Structure 1
């Protein structure tokens, strides 16, 4: 893992992103520094039990995701670090060299694109690419969270400033996959999405089976109105998806002209493996 580019993190090299952040996220240099100081003081004096990361690159995503609303930011930080304690099956033992992680990575359960859409990071989540008799849904979510951590660190401005477009490919979804999505699993997933440190802008579901509305209705029952309104289900090909994500950057497997899924999987697995030491260190950051 390379050292963080502070100039990039603070938007000093991107006037367009700086303007966007000011207009849409209430971020200015002065406001950012004031809020960072306040959050650090609050974490140190009132929330030491959270064992939160204190560096700018780990606090700014929460501030930006909450548009610098301090109460919302504090709530999200508490939720996030408490979740890391309460859900060890997703946030502990995250060695990217583990066989179960490598197997799922090579299947391509969670694959970011390397090109952006309107400055946003695009990720493809292949919900049913795995065999549920071999791989648990918890390991699928753990692998996805690990890849999202890495992709957001590698794409600071897209993930933190402009947001993320998630394409959920449901091809191959059958009863064995569907039964893994118990209400408790769905509640856990939605809680994670809503308290994660990126800005989810679009949730696009493709290759949806007829039963998707049953599963989605459970997902929506745990979602905020804002997140519900960002869900779109595509049941008739990819034409409507192309209105959201250009064919120029989508893989050929999705009718696009970008890198193949195989190329993307190989690239991101290589990046993930470089973060082995980072993941080992990261496990200590969670609530008591």
Structure 2
């Protein structure tokens, strides 16, 4: 019997995979951005639009008369503060403290004093707090921003405190410095001054190695800064994917939590539905139960974008309490 061999039909040619190139680009307005699908990751440094201005008037009493009075009074208070060097003629600097405080100059002054006194009290957090100094934190994606905002205009920050955090490469000190850089960014953005910030703490992969990084003294230091020293409208801290081990960390922080911050803490576990009750699904990528089509992007790219603002942050680091009283009046 003759056996005939059949030729294997060749596989149809495969279409080449579309490779998405993600890099920092510069817009016509000279602002760096990262294109992520249909979204742009950039710092929103523009003034409030008409709709946002109307909201600011309603929520923050931001009228031309109130703004003018608050700036004048704020300057007067700061000029009387000994050894304080801040750019009193830069209204955008003054407003970044005033707007989150509903244009109450006395309240803004208290926060500004705490903001800069913290740096005197803790010198390692008072100098060189710039994107480049903590670039490795962003490179390893321990800290990320989403290009989207919540339906109310809040900025969304992601802190990966578990599997993406290698304490041998990223110390707790450096992570805290990265948070300080991120909050400085939030303070700069008029839209965030109005809409506030939601923070998502993703604890997937949390281990004893991470737990051992915390102590009561570091917990108090971090919470003192968050609760007393930052001019940001914090809208919520959302803890997700936390294992039972997280209870050890929470027990360290709990004694230093003020009543206001306690109300902003939400523990979601793996329940994405619970998270979506606080942040709209249109604002979140699929990994968090949302519907926003946001491609994952390397942390290095985000660090590259922030590097464009390195010189600005170097200037910001010169503000605060100084020994030269004549400079302090500048």
Check whether TM > 0.5.
yes
- In structure 1, distance between residues paired with 2:235 and 2:76: 30
Say whether residues 1:39 and 2:104 are aligned partners: no
- Alpha-carbon offset, residue 68 of structure 1: 2.6
- In structure 2, distance between residues paired with 1:117 and 1:214: 31
- In structure 1, distance between residues paired with 2:186 and 2:263: 24
Q: Counterparts in 2 of 1:29-178, with a 5 A limit?
A: 29-44=64-79, 46-54=80-88, 55-98=90-133, 101-118=134-151, 119-128=153-162, 129-153=164-188, 155-157=189-191, 159-178=192-211
Q: Counterparts in 2 of 1:218-233, with a 5 A limit?
A: 218-233=252-267
Instruction: Verify the 8 A CA contact 1:150 1:272 in the aligned structure 2.
Output: no
- Alpha-carbon offset, residue 209 of structure 1: 1.8
Gap change, CA 1:52 and 1:223, over 3 Å in 2: farther
Instruction: Verify the 8 A CA contact 2:60 2:102 in the aligned structure 1.
Output: yes
**Which shifted more, 14-23 or 216-225?**
216-225
Instruction: Verify the 8 A CA contact 2:160 2:201 in the aligned structure 1.
Output: yes
Match of 1:249 among 275, 280, 283: 283
CA RMSD of aligned residues (A): 2.4
Instruction: Verify the 8 A CA contact 2:276 2:289 in the aligned structure 1.
Output: no
**Which shifted more, 166-175 or 215-224?**
215-224
Unmatched 5+ stretches in structure 1: none
Give the number of the structure whose alpha-carbon radius of gyration is greater.
2
Gap change, CA 1:231 and 1:259, over 3 Å in 2: same
Instruction: Verify the 8 A CA contact 2:44 2:190 in the aligned structure 1.
Output: no
1:22-76 deviations in Å (ceiling 9; x for gaps): 22222211111111111112111x1142223432222212222222333322211
Task: Considering fraction of residues, name the structure with more helix.
Answer: 1
User: Hey, what does 2:321 align to over in structure 1?
Assistant: 287
- In structure 2, distance between residues paired with 1:250 and 1:266: 21
Question: Taking structure 1 as the reference length, what is the TM-score of the superposition?
Answer: 0.86
Instruction: Verify the 8 A CA contact 2:140 2:300 in the aligned structure 1.
Output: no
- Alpha-carbon offset, residue 184 of structure 1: 1.3
Query: Secondary structure, in 3 states, of the residue corresponding to 1:165?
Result: strand
Instruction: Verify the 8 A CA contact 1:147 1:272 in the aligned structure 2.
Output: no
Say whether residues 1:15 and 2:29 are aligned partners: no
Task: Considering fraction of residues, name the structure with more strand.
Answer: 2
**Which shifted more, 50-59 or 222-231?**
50-59
Instruction: Verify the 8 A CA contact 1:110 1:124 in the aligned structure 2.
Output: yes
Query: Secondary structure, in 3 states, of the residue corresponding to 1:114?
Result: strand
- Alpha-carbon offset, residue 269 of structure 1: 1.6
User: Number of matched residues?
Assistant: 277
Query: Secondary structure, in 3 states, of the residue corresponding to 1:171?
Result: coil
1:115-152 deviations in Å (ceiling 9; x for gaps): 11121111111123221133210011112222332354
Instruction: Verify the 8 A CA contact 1:50 1:82 in the aligned structure 2.
Output: no
Question: Taking structure 2 as the reference length, what is the TM-score of the superposition?
Answer: 0.76
Instruction: Verify the 8 A CA contact 2:130 2:181 in the aligned structure 1.
Output: no
User: Hey, what does 1:197 align to over in structure 2?
Assistant: 231
- Alpha-carbon offset, residue 230 of structure 1: 0.7
1:208-254 deviations in Å (ceiling 9; x for gaps): 12133443344343233122101000123322112222333323433
Gap change, CA 1:48 and 1:168, over 3 Å in 2: same
- Runs of 4+ aligned residues of structure 1 deviating over 4 Å after TM superposition are none
Instruction: Verify the 8 A CA contact 2:186 2:193 in the aligned structure 1.
Output: no
Query: Secondary structure, in 3 states, of the residue corresponding to 1:272?
Result: helix
